[in-house]
Structure 1
Amino acid sequence: MSELIKHKLSSDSQCVQTSCPYCGVGCGVDIKVEQGQAVKLSGTPEHPANFGRLCVKGTNLLATNHHQGRLLHPVIHGERASWDLAIDTVAARFSEIIKKHGPDAVAFYGSGQLLTEDYYVANKLMKGYIGSANIDTNSRLCMSSAVSGYKRAFGEDLVPCSYQDLENTDLILLIGSNAAWTHPVLFQRMEKAKSVNPRLQIFAIDPRRTASAELADCHLPIKPGSDAALFNGLLCFLADNQGLDQAYVDNFTNNFAACLELAKPWTLTRTAAYCGISEALLTRLYRAFIGNKRVISFYSMGINQSSSGVDKCNAIINCHLASGKIGKAGSGPFSITGQPNAMGGREVGGLSSLLAAHMDIDNAKHRDLVQTFWQSPTIAGSPGYSATELFDKMAEGKVKAVWIMATNPAVSLPDRAKVEQALTACDFVVVSDCVAGNDTLAFADIKLPATAWSEKNGTVTNSERRISRQRGLLKPPGEALDDWQIITRMAKAMGFKQGFDYRGPAEIFDEHARLTAFNNNGERALDLSGLTGLTPQEYDRLKPVQWPVNAQYPQGCARVLSDGKFFTGNGKANFIEIVPAAPELACSEEYPFSLNSGRLRDQWHTMTRTGKANILTEHTKAPEVTLNPQDAKSLDVTEGDLLKISNNSGTAYLQAKLSDAVAAKQLFVPIHWNREFASSANINRLFAAIVDPISGQPEFKQAPVRLEKVQIRQYALIYSPQPLEPFTAGLPADCHWVKHQGVRGPVYHGYFEQEITDLAEQLKLDISQAIRAGAPGEEAVSNSWLSYQSEHGSQFIALGDEGFNAFVFLSDKPIRLNDSWINELLSGKETSSEQINALLLAKAPKNRGRKVCSCFSVYEQDIVDAINNNGISSVEALGSTLKCGTNCGSCKTELSSLLREHEAGERETVQEFIPSDEPNEVIT
């Protein structure tokens, strides 16, 4: 690859280097573009974050990049409008409300999907021109506790570690992090480091045995919410067992004695009992921390998403300060971000409690500095509303206008009922997004079309403080604009003629860099003075670099705090006194189960992108609740049954998944499903809006719930070439459905508590109408429908003039069909009804179970058969035989789990498909 980031490969093709739009790892991506189309994708070999590696989501980015479902034009109250009219309308309404009710009556709600340049101008408009700090972001939901923890300890939001530290350490503590699924590329770097250095130990600290525990030497299944006690106990253990670096404590820290005094009651015995693990297991962890000179504490949502998340972060940091394992190669407290630009948003003040350039809104000197630099008419004088507060104020009528950018709070915030109430009550709701519909857009008065990742141009900052360019490689569809363009047009329409006259993102980045350097004088680590004054060409060629970038570190700085200098008042780090707190809501006789939530391997947030790709839905097609087999037995639940989860906040319906990865009376549910993909599977509705009092971050890792088995009278499995929104919208409340993307169109699973008469006829009509809507001018005539009835009362209908267009299976028993066989039927190769009939009557191949390897379509049963028949005993051997795990590597932990479980004799093989005398439908 030449030094030029964007260059021609031939007369009509070029390679564009950009960044992946998913997690906070910030992987570099090379995309080959031919004649305006992205045709090939691979990881950037020289990008320091991934060195060419990509996870399964990154590998399949191009499969999600089509324009289907995009918002292409501005929309006002359901009607297409021009950009001028849309912007003028938004500006007029915001201005009117500000004039009548004051600047705090309006708000912005942003996203870690925004680029730094987008974030910067939004923050500038709200805090420096409108004069309110009411701009918050969905990063509040995942990273704000880490921000507060770092600021309390170091004086600045400062991640002290680099990815290289993961490969140059002796001990990694995975704390509340399932990195194998949430940050797969970093997990692969850990796997590689462990294979190279057998002395490297990994401990997984998590109530759930996640995929990441497959790599760990030891798993500590602590009680939910007990992390702070565990690390208070470690601090006490360090003091009692010569684990302190007293010289470091004396020279570089404050408040150690008081902090230790509060931790002393947390003896080994008390801590083990409180955490629900054995003293032997706890001692093993504590001795490993003392016995290794280099230790990385790698923590994520399991720590942050808590009503005491900030204290948990500081409990971890306390142990690193006390042992001097910070600011050194292979050591430090490493908070890993969840979104591609959560860090960039923090840099420019995207949270309502911050100012740009790591300055504080409650600091008069900082306010004056920012206003002077911006030459703005005003500056916000106090923190604005955090995410949950913002929606509370909307519901109360105090915030009368909100602009939501690139996020879906109706799904991602806790207590959905309250969020919906707020969006309904708000006088004026504006949403700018790249999709035409989602749960939040349903409430929008005005919809503004924004560019998607492959069209956006700017910068992002990953979890190790590394700034990378995200380059627009495709022309935006329709009238979509970059977020910074929409925001600056809005600012000018509101009358702010100065301050927003940018010609491109390079000018915005330059202003951001200059602000980080303005009157800095070494007071803040965030210093991009070495990147000021870049020409547009230099900006375009910008290579990935870690801040600070200044005269001292002209090529960037991989490791901060190595000199023992912190950014507090006296330049020393602060020990924080910690009193461990249990989750605010405890389980009870009425709500005996503890609900935990998190991410899946192949899905992302609310599935706006990943839900488009069939290959990414194959791993987990429906929302599941994982429960312990003991609990399943007591509830008479089997795998695949529909379960109702409920509490005072709401109700959700999910399929049962049985696993001893969760303890008795604990449940795990993924966060991704929403009204676009399921009737009633949004799990965040069950979490009350309980937040950390310092960070405002919600508690998403513990909620008391009740679990009940749902009795289903009728099941449906529908393969349709077009979405069936009219059908799903018209179903009664006791009819539940789930949708995923199939090879030819959406696939629906229906669960009916009461049998619907003439459901087959209704579906024929709905599918025919959907086909006509999707292909105007074509008719789906009734005589093209084939219909079969089994002796068991199950029914199959199919639409097939030239190959199959649609399938419907109806039964009073669960329907489990082999997707690979269905995909063959949908291939379009069979044209006559005789051939179709012959296929239907043929014996289908056995059910191969869940797809484990998405890259090479390797199913669970393939792997089990290889283990049984070929004597395979290693992940590498499975890769040699089946190719699984040899591309992106995201499935390797599951391969390891299958090997372990099968060898232990704990896993049954997947049941084969049992055909009846009728066409291939599963009756059992």
Structure 2
Amino acid sequence: MRRTTASTCCYCGVGCGVLIEHDGERILNVAGDPNHPANFGKLCSKGATLHLTGDLDARALYPELRLGKGLVRARSDWDTALDHAANVFAKTIAEHGPDSVAFYISGQLLTEDYYAFNKLARALVGTNNIDSNSRLCMSSAVVGYKRSLGADAPPCSYEDIEQSDCLLIVGSNMAYAHPVLFRRLEEAKAKRPEMKVIVVDPRRTDTCDLADLHLAILPGTDVALFHGILHILLWEGWIDRDFIEAHTDGFDELKRMVRDYNPAMVADLCGIDIDELQTTARLIGTSTSFLSLWCMGINQSTAGSAKNSALINLHLATGQIGKPGAGPFSLTGQPNAMGGRETGSLSNLLPGHREAGNAAHRAEVADYWGVQALPEASGLSAIELFEAVRSGKVKALWIACTNPAQSMPDQQKIHEALAACPFVVVQEAFFTTETCHYADLLLPAASWGEKEGTVTNSERRVSHVRPAVAAPGEARADWSITCDFARRLEMLMRPGQASLFAFDTPSAIFEEYKLLTHGRDLDLSGLSHALIDRLGPQQWPFPAGSTQGTVRLYGDRVFPTENGRARFLAEQYQAPKERREARFPLTLNTGRLRDHWHGMSRTGTAARLFGHVEQALLSMNADDMRRRRLLDGQLVKLRSRRGELLLPVQKDDSLRHGQAFMPMHWGDRFLKGMGVNVLTLPDFDPVSKQPELKHAGIEVEKVELPWQFFAMVEGQVQKRFETLRPLFEGFAYASFSLTGRDRSALVIRAACNEAPDATQLAQIELLLGLDTGPVVAYEDPRRGVGKRVRIEEGRIIALCLSGETAARDWLKQLWHDGTADQALRRWLLAPLSTPPGGGVRAAKTLCNCMNVSQDAICAGIDRGLDLNGLKRELGCGTSCGSCVPEIKRLLVKQPAVA
């Protein structure tokens, strides 16, 4: 019998409500929850395909234990696995002290999971060495809010997007990273065309298509831009002097500093026109309500804290905070990064927005937990933590629900650290992540649709995450694994004492945790799982006795600082760590794609999510490509000071000269060579300790790899992936992806200087199912060219091209079409390499929701269809809407025939 369970999406920080359709054993479908105030039923392409992800063949199902380095992990049982982990941790702590162990956790955990980990690290182990991958995305925003406003509390709500008269979007391709919120902005702009939208981004992204003004600043110059805007606001008198005098401190110092940031200097430094700078200041200064939205382009910087504070300065100077449509509003990258911040899941924090370095805060939490004291020594942030692992200071590392062997910068050192660590525990739902390779103990965790707890989204809204089905195999909820381990460790470290982890449900954990927030800025004491079920998701603060959450903060102009006044921060512009120079003349930016998320442990199991962008590509400005004599699709070598990577290049008109872009999603699993973060640098902001993932110096050069390989195979895609991936280690270049919709295929692209050993090729063909059966084959040993295609019931099932791959797009299209005609058979048995009729361009799926290709849309435009006509006839743009900006660009390039 089909049932529906209301829960939330597990991707970005928008926190969309979802309705999971299931039969009690399997998840069958997903839809947006029309009653959830974060999305009102809307979903993006990723959220709408959640039911297609999480292939069981990619899931960790049982504990696996390796009893010595170099040995293969073997299946274990939970008691043996956790007893072993407790013994190793207890022994390590006894011999080397509590700071010889560390925990690295994730913004994808639920709040109850977070709390259990924090209590384990600080109350039981006695270390502050617990950090989260939120360090990589939101820690600079945390510092910005705390330094300027007194607390890590985004003051706005999503409804402010619709109510604002002027929006400044900085360092965020909102159309890709937070699509559902972007749809709200699009709708608001359509209803009120007078609303002004300014986008600040070095690239011209889909988000820019909505903008009245796009400031394509040079990477890393945001602080200078914000100071330059403030300079003009002061000059023109567009500031709120009454607000400044009554509710802020530090303005005079900032005023003196920004005098030097005159329009000519700032425009030159940022690489924009003076008119653009002055227009921006005028729109902000004369607006009745000014809202700023920002994401990783601000945070992932060695000056991330300064960028956040300089942006918030604009709101304080204009009094644009604490009222509808106004305020500084960070867009959170992960579904529960906010919950992690609330529970203290960064090394410098404690639960309830307390500071680990504050003695009074430590005493409050220790007293509540019933322990003598909490550790005083500073904990290690993410970059510092893995360096301590690499140097041998940290000897036992517990990693949960995150993939540092893909996501951390300077990947070579991260892999060295994980390889050298005496004991690595990985608590993970997907055994396929790069980090799992290093696990001495792999613990299978429950995933989306299988867990219960709470999450907090970007607007401080707490939702109840409900499970629809049981976790597969022996996988368990993260809080349950953590508490079970903690109880075993307690028996070794504090025998005979009452357990600190006597929790039997996630709601019991929440009930203990929420009282640590009582009286704090984020007061959750009036919330419970049951109350959220009754009233719906609620925004904090929600003190005991409340009947509804708090929509907007600081309406009373009182800030949670010692004197109740907000603070202006006066910090000079500092250039990024890596500047352009002769050896590395290009600046590499990294970012998100529309249909993938993070390291693709989940989205990488859904073939249709590869339809829009199928493989890792480097995007470059056309002039930079021309100077290097590069053509679209050619393989290039990217070099930085830390490593190198091979992948194809493509021309991108959205980039200025001297800039390059690569998506963040591909790691060593999908792209040989550790992915983009083998190039990025580990330098971090001195205050937030967030690394500069957005700005690395690189050079690009053409690579000649004459022997090429292309293969496709459908059926048991994840299993084939796992068996085939290791066979390509010896290739100079190898890339892996999926394709398909109703049926899925694994796609492999590879290249090297000369043909690999015949035995290796034979093994690859065996695993592709091309060794026996209905296989048509052609071999040309003299030219080193081979063609093999398996045809069953009139359609292609598997194929491979070796030596050269000119026909790959034609064959791929035949597979999608489900045909294997006589032209294919004639081509297979002929010495010709190119397909009949010449080259065929790979079909790009522009609308993933409705499976509409770019070719179909272009054909519709040729027939005279406008946007509404395309929506009616093809269905594109009628679901999540993420494809609409691209469709509009096609209509401009290729106007409909009247």
Please state if 1:837 is matched with 2:825. Answer: yes
Q: Do the aligned residues in 1 keep the contact of 2:432 with 2:601 (CA within 8 Å)?
A: no
Using the alignment, how far apart are the partners of 1:442 and 1:288 within structure 2?
A: 52
Q: Does 1:715 align with 2:713?
A: no
8 Å CA contact 2:727, 2:764 repeated in 1? no
The one of 862, 868, 876 aligned to 2:862 = 868
Please point out which of 27, 52, 75 is paired with 2:41. Answer: 52
Q: Unaligned stretches of 5+ in structure 2? A: 67-72, 830-834
Say yes or no: does 1:526 pair with 2:506: no
**Is residue 751 from structure 1 mapped to residue 740 from structure 2 by the alignment?**
no
Cα distance change of structure 1 residues 704 and 836 upon mapping to structure 2, 3 Å threshold = closer
Kept in 2: contact 1:724–1:767 (CA 8 A): no
Q: Distance in 1 between matches of 2:546 and 2:534?
A: 19
CA distance in 2, matches of 1:459, 1:504: 12
**Residue 167 of structure 1: SS of its match in structure 2?**
helix
2:640 and 2:679 in contact (8 A); partners too = yes
Q: Which amino acid aligns with 1:787?
A: A
Cα separation, 1, equivalents of 2:624 and 2:328: 36
Distance of aligned partners of 1:200 and 1:553 in 2 relative to their CA distance in 1, 3 Å threshold: farther
What is the 5 A alignment of 1:748-787? 748-756=747-755, 762-769=760-767, 782=772, 784-787=774-777
Contact 2:233–2:239 (8 Å) recurs in 1: yes
- Which letter does structure 2 place at the counterpart of 1:577? A
* Superposition deviation, residue 745 in structure 1: 5.0
Residue 68 of structure 1 aligns to a residue in which SS? helix
Instruction: Give the residue type in structure 1 aligned to 2:753.
Output: Q
Matched, 1:509 2:510: yes
SS of residue paired to 2:58: coil
Change (3 A) 1:610 1:19: same
Give the C-alpha shift of residue 554 in structure 1.
3.0
Q: Report the equivalent of 1:470.
A: 465
CA distance in 2, matches of 1:224, 1:487: 41
Q: Say whether the 8 Å CA contact 2:861–2:896 is kept in structure 1.
A: no
Deviations 1:254-301 (A, max 9, x none): 111111111111011111111111101111111100111111110110
Write the mapping of 1:190-269 to structure 2, written as runs, cut at 5 A. Answer: 190-269=185-264
In structure 2, the residue matched to 1:8 is: none
Distance in 1, matches of 2:842 and 2:433, equals 33
Matched with 1:304 is 299
C-alpha offsets along residues 658-701 of structure 1, whole Å, 9 cap, x if unaligned? 01200011000001111221212610111121000000000011
Which shifted more, 747-756 or 451-460?
Answer: 747-756
Offset of residue 553 of structure 1: 4.7
Q: 1:835 to 1:900 in 2, by over 3 A?
A: closer
- The 1:493–1:645 alpha-carbon spacing in structure 2 relative to 1, beyond 3 Å, is same
Cα separation, 2, equivalents of 1:342 and 1:819: 43
Structure 2 equivalent of residue 774 of structure 1: none
Tell me how far apart the structure 1 counterparts of residues 149 and 822 of structure 2 sit (CA, whole Å): 74
Would you say the 8 A contact 2:796–2:814 is kept in 1?
Answer: no
Tell me the CA shift for residue 757 of structure 1. 5.4
Q: Does 1:181 align with 2:176?
A: yes
More displaced, 539-548 or 406-415? Answer: 539-548
Distance in 2 between the 1:753 and 1:540 partners? 57
Q: Distance in 1 between matches of 2:467 and 2:889?
A: 40
In structure 1, give the amino acid aligned to 2:890.
Answer: L
Over the residues paired in the alignment, what is the CA RMSD in angstroms?
2.3
Change (3 A) 1:559 1:312: same
CA distance in 1, matches of 2:856, 2:674: 30
- What is the aligned partner in structure 2 of residue 9 from structure 1? none
* Equivalent of residue 320 in structure 1, options 307, 310, 315: 315
What's the counterpart of residue 443 of structure 1?
A: 438
Residue type of the partner of 2:455? V
The CA deviation at 1:834 is 8.1
Of residues 349, 352, 364, the one that matches 1:354 is 349
Q: Distance in 1 between matches of 2:825 and 2:808?
A: 20
Measured against aligned partners, the alpha-carbon deviations of 1:489-536 in whole angstroms (never above 9, x if no partner) come to: 11100116422111101111111111111xx2xxx31101212xx4x7
C-alpha contact (below 8 Å) 1:856/1:884 kept by paired residues: yes
* Distance change in 2, residues 1:528/1:92 (3 Å): same
Residues 687-702 of structure 1: pairs in structure 2 closer than 5 A: 687-702=680-695
* Pair 824,602 (structure 1): closer, same or farther in 2 beyond 3 Å: closer
SS at the partner of 2:434? Answer: coil
Secondary structure (helix, strand or coil) at the match of 1:50 reads coil
Residue 768 of structure 1 deviates from its aligned partner by 2.4
Q: Which residue pairs with 2:70 in the alignment?
A: none
Aligned-partner Cα distance in 2 for 1:540–1:903: 50
CA deviation after TM superposition for structure 1 residue 639, in Å: 1.1
Counterpart in the other structure of 1:591: 584
Query: Is the CA contact 2:450–2:469 (under 8 Å) kept in the aligned structure 1?
Result: yes
Determine helix, strand or coil for the equivalent of 2:371.
Answer: coil
Checking the alignment, whether the CA contact within 8 Å between 1:714 and 1:813 is kept in structure 2 is no
1:729 corresponds in structure 2 to 726
Distance 2:209 2:49 in 1: 25
* Mean CA deviation greater in 335-344 or 367-376: 367-376
The worse-fitting range, judged by mean Cα deviation, of 433-442 and 329-338 is 433-442
Task: Kindly state the Cα deviation for residue 623 of structure 1 after the two structures are TM-superposed.
Answer: 0.3
Whether the aligned pair in 2 keeps the contact of 1:712 and 1:751 (CA below 8 Å) is no
Deviation at 1:55, TM superposition (A): 0.3
* Offset from partner CA, 1:548-569 (integer Å, 9 cap, x none): 0025853000101111111111
Q: Do structure 1's residue 24 and structure 2's residue 20 form an aligned pair?
A: no
Identify the match of residue 797 of structure 1 among 788, 799, 810: 788
Residue 893 in structure 1 maps to residue 892 in structure 2: no
Shift of 1:835: 11
Name 2:843's counterpart in structure 1.
849
Q: Deviations over 1:590-638 (max 9, x none)?
A: 1111000001000010001111111101111110111011111111111
Q: How big is the shift at 1:35? A: 4.4
Report the number of matched residues.
871
Once the 2 structures are TM-superposed, how far is the Cα of residue 728 of structure 1 from its aligned partner?
4.1
1:557 maps to: 550
The question of 1:85 aligning with 2:80 is answered yes
Aligned letter for 1:751? A
Tell me whether 80-89 or 497-506 shows the greater mean CA deviation: 497-506
Partner of 1:7: none
- Deviation string 1:321-342 (CA, Å, 9 cap, x unpaired) is 0100001100011111100000
Query: What is the rounded CA distance, in whole Å, between the counterparts of 1:681 and 1:746 in structure 2?
Result: 23
Q: Distance in 2 between matches of 1:738 and 1:669?
A: 15
The aligned amino acid for 2:577 is E
Q: Secondary structure at the match of 1:240?
A: helix
Tell me what 2:3 maps to: 14
Q: Among the aligned pairs, what percent are the same residue?
A: 39
2:54 maps to amino acid? N
Q: Which amino acid aligns with 1:851?
A: T
CA distance in 1 between counterparts of 2:262 and 2:896 reads 36
Deviation at 1:868, TM superposition (A): 3.1
Report SS of the residue matched to 1:687.
coil
Task: Evaluate the alpha carbon distance shift between residue 329 and residue 316 of structure 1 in structure 2; reply closer, same or farther with a 3 A threshold.
Answer: same
TM-score (norm: length of structure 1): 0.91
In 2: Cα distance, 1:550 partner to 1:694 partner = 31
CA contact (8 A) 1:737 1:748 kept: no
Does residue 569 (structure 1) correspond to residue 558 (structure 2)? The answer is no
- Per mean C-alpha deviation after superposition, the further-off stretch among 312-321 and 495-504 is 495-504
Could you report, residue by residue, the CA deviation over 1:713-746 in whole angstroms, capped at 9, with x for unpaired residues?
A: 0222101245255554244655311111234554
Partner SS state of residue 46, structure 2 = helix
Q: Secondary structure at the match of 2:418?
A: helix
Alpha-carbon shift at residue 814 of structure 1 (Å): 4.5
Counterpart secondary structure, 1:56: coil
Which letter maps to 2:878? T
Residue range with higher mean Cα deviation, 26-35 or 746-755: 746-755
Residue ranges of structure 1 left out of the alignment (5+ in a row): 1-11, 772-779, 906-924
Matched ranges for 1:875-914 at <5 A: 875-903=867-895
Q: Which residue number in structure 1 is paired with residue 69 of structure 2?
A: none
Among residues 371, 380, 402, which one is paired with 1:376 in the alignment? 371
